Amino acid sequence: YEVTQPRSVSVSPGQTASISCSGHKLGDKYVSWYQQRPGQSPVLVIFQDVKRPSGIPERFSGSNSGNTATLTISETQAMDEGDYYCQAWDTTPNWVFGGGTTLTVL
Protein backbone atom coordinates (compact mmCIF):
# COMPACT_ATOMS: atom_id res chain seq x y z
CA TYR A 1 0.00 0.00 0.00
CA GLU A 2 1.28 3.48 -0.81
CA VAL A 3 0.29 7.01 0.02
CA THR A 4 1.40 9.99 -2.05
CA GLN A 5 2.06 13.58 -1.02
CA PRO A 6 3.13 16.63 -3.03
CA ARG A 7 6.84 17.36 -2.70
CA SER A 8 6.34 20.96 -1.65
CA VAL A 9 3.72 23.54 -0.74
CA SER A 10 4.26 27.27 -0.39
CA VAL A 11 2.07 29.71 1.49
CA SER A 12 2.19 33.35 2.52
CA PRO A 13 2.19 34.21 6.23
CA GLY A 14 -1.32 34.40 7.62
CA GLN A 15 -2.81 32.38 4.76
CA THR A 16 -4.12 28.80 4.77
CA ALA A 17 -1.93 25.89 3.70
CA SER A 18 -3.37 22.56 2.56
CA ILE A 19 -1.31 19.39 2.23
CA SER A 20 -2.84 16.35 0.58
CA CYS A 21 -2.18 12.65 1.06
CA SER A 22 -3.59 10.21 -1.49
CA GLY A 23 -4.06 6.45 -1.42
CA HIS A 24 -6.52 3.80 -2.55
CA LYS A 25 -9.62 4.00 -0.31
CA LEU A 26 -7.59 6.03 2.18
CA GLY A 27 -10.85 7.28 3.66
CA ASP A 28 -11.42 3.78 5.06
CA LYS A 29 -8.27 4.05 7.17
CA TYR A 30 -7.19 6.29 10.03
CA VAL A 31 -4.63 8.89 8.96
CA SER A 32 -2.12 10.66 11.18
CA TRP A 33 0.05 13.67 10.38
CA TYR A 34 3.52 14.52 11.69
CA GLN A 35 5.45 17.77 11.60
CA GLN A 36 9.24 17.62 11.40
CA ARG A 37 11.06 20.91 11.73
CA PRO A 38 14.64 21.06 10.38
CA GLY A 39 17.01 19.09 12.59
CA GLN A 40 14.26 17.90 14.91
CA SER A 41 12.30 14.71 15.54
CA PRO A 42 8.78 14.26 14.16
CA VAL A 43 5.86 15.50 16.24
CA LEU A 44 2.30 14.16 15.99
CA VAL A 45 -0.09 16.96 15.00
CA ILE A 46 -3.22 15.05 13.87
CA PHE A 47 -4.44 11.52 14.65
CA GLN A 48 -7.60 9.60 13.76
CA ASP A 49 -8.00 11.88 10.72
CA VAL A 50 -9.20 14.96 12.62
CA LYS A 51 -8.03 14.92 16.26
CA ARG A 52 -5.32 17.13 17.71
CA PRO A 53 -3.02 15.99 20.55
CA SER A 54 -2.85 18.31 23.53
CA GLY A 55 -0.54 21.24 22.86
CA ILE A 56 -1.17 21.36 19.12
CA PRO A 57 -2.75 24.69 18.06
CA GLU A 58 -6.29 24.75 16.74
CA ARG A 59 -4.86 26.16 13.50
CA PHE A 60 -4.06 22.55 12.60
CA SER A 61 -6.97 20.48 11.29
CA GLY A 62 -7.45 17.35 9.26
CA SER A 63 -9.96 15.59 7.05
CA ASN A 64 -10.12 12.26 5.26
CA SER A 65 -12.59 11.02 2.66
CA GLY A 66 -12.52 8.89 -0.45
CA ASN A 67 -8.93 8.55 -1.59
CA THR A 68 -7.56 11.74 -0.05
CA ALA A 69 -6.65 13.01 3.40
CA THR A 70 -5.82 16.67 3.92
CA LEU A 71 -3.90 18.58 6.57
CA THR A 72 -4.96 22.19 6.78
CA ILE A 73 -2.97 24.87 8.58
CA SER A 74 -4.79 28.16 8.96
CA GLU A 75 -3.14 31.49 9.73
CA THR A 76 0.19 29.96 8.79
CA GLN A 77 3.23 31.23 10.66
CA ALA A 78 6.96 31.04 9.99
CA MET A 79 7.28 28.48 12.79
CA ASP A 80 5.07 26.11 10.77
CA GLU A 81 7.81 25.62 8.17
CA GLY A 82 9.13 22.10 7.90
CA ASP A 83 8.32 18.69 6.52
CA TYR A 84 4.93 17.10 7.00
CA TYR A 85 4.27 13.37 6.73
CA CYS A 86 0.98 11.53 6.53
CA GLN A 87 0.76 8.01 7.94
CA ALA A 88 -1.75 5.23 7.55
CA TRP A 89 -2.01 1.63 8.71
CA ASP A 90 -2.43 -1.28 6.36
CA THR A 91 -1.88 -4.99 6.59
CA THR A 92 1.21 -4.96 4.40
CA PRO A 93 3.34 -3.12 5.22
CA ASN A 94 2.18 -2.48 8.74
CA TRP A 95 2.64 1.30 8.82
CA VAL A 96 2.94 3.47 5.75
CA PHE A 97 4.34 6.98 5.57
CA GLY A 98 3.92 9.36 2.71
CA GLY A 99 7.06 10.72 1.09
CA GLY A 100 6.73 14.01 2.94
CA THR A 101 5.79 17.56 1.95
CA THR A 102 8.04 20.54 2.57
CA LEU A 103 6.01 23.53 3.69
CA THR A 104 7.58 26.90 2.92
CA VAL A 105 6.16 30.10 4.40
CA LEU A 106 7.24 33.04 2.27
Partner 1 sequence: EVQLVESGGGLKEPGGSLRLSCTASGLSLSNSAVNWVRQAPGKGLKWVASISITGTNEDYADSVKGRFTISRDTSDNIIYLQMTSLRADDTALYYCAKSRRAPDAFDLWGRGTMVTVSS
Q: Which residues bind partner 1 (CB under 8 A)?
A: 30, 32, 34, 36, 41-44, 47-48, 53, 83, 85, 87, 89, 93-100
Min dist. Cβ of residue 40 to partner 1 (A) = 8
| Residue 83, SS3 per DSSP | strand
Q: State which residue, 12 or 89, has the beta carbon closest to partner 1.
A: 89
Q: State which residue, 1 or 59, has the beta carbon closest to partner 1.
A: 1
Q: How far is CA 86 from CA 12, 14, 29, 43, 64, in A?
A: 22, 23, 12, 12, 11
| Residue 79, SS3 per DSSP | helix
Q: State which residue, 42 or 74, has the beta carbon closest to partner 1.
A: 42
**Residue 51's closest CA among 68, 30, 74?**
30
**Length of the chain in terms of residues written:** 106
Q: State which residue, 12 or 51, has the beta carbon closest to partner 1.
A: 51
Min dist. Cβ of residue 44 to partner 1 (A) = 5
